[in-house]
Amino acid sequence: MIIVGSGVTAAETARIISAKKIEVKLFGVLSEPIEGVEAVSDNPIVEILGEGEVKAVRLSNQKVIGASLVIFTEIFEPNIDFLKSTDIKINKGIVVDDAMRTNIPFVFAAGDACEFLDKEKIYGWENAQCEGQTAGKHYVRCS
């Protein structure tokens, strides 16, 4: 498994996958080592090899490394343009409270498309799952 990118999303993805005992090579920079993850920062990928599916990657030094999957992580801004004509409060993402409620009753948001105004947002799969569970618990109480 190959992950390309630096930052929280790349590190969290690498940590989750390596915890499943899958070998991970991360092409980027890690702020701290992750067990089972080999970080490569000096030899970028120049080509993905395979016909219709990933078989390997070629590095800038021409070395070829086998791979069945390449994941590219990057910082992104969620596509919330469709909400601009609504009354839902948005900033860089959909603004929510600790219960994942928007400013509109019975409208919730979770995952990387939402943000908190009063605390730092942590992105990634596991946090999105927890936020979805939080929204579900609070929706049941509200309805």
* 26/10 Cα distance (integer angstroms): 8
CATH architecture under which domain 81-142 falls: 3-Layer(bba) Sandwich (3.50)
pTM for the complete prediction?
Answer: 0.56
Q: Side-chain half-sphere of 118: how many Cα atoms within 13 Å?
A: 5
Summarised one tens digit per residue, pLDDT across range 33-48 is 999 999 998 889 999 9
Could you tell me if 131 and 111 are in contact, meaning their C-beta atoms sit under 8 angstroms apart?
A: yes
Summarised one tens digit per residue, pLDDT across range 83-109 is 999 999 999 899 999 999 999 998 999
Q: Give the pLDDT confidence score for residue 142 in this predicted structure.
A: 57
* Domain ranges within the chain, ordered by starting residue: 2-72, 81-142
In CATH, which of 3.10.20.310, 1.20.210.10, 3.50.50.60, 3.90.1150.10 is domain 2-72? Answer: 3.50.50.60
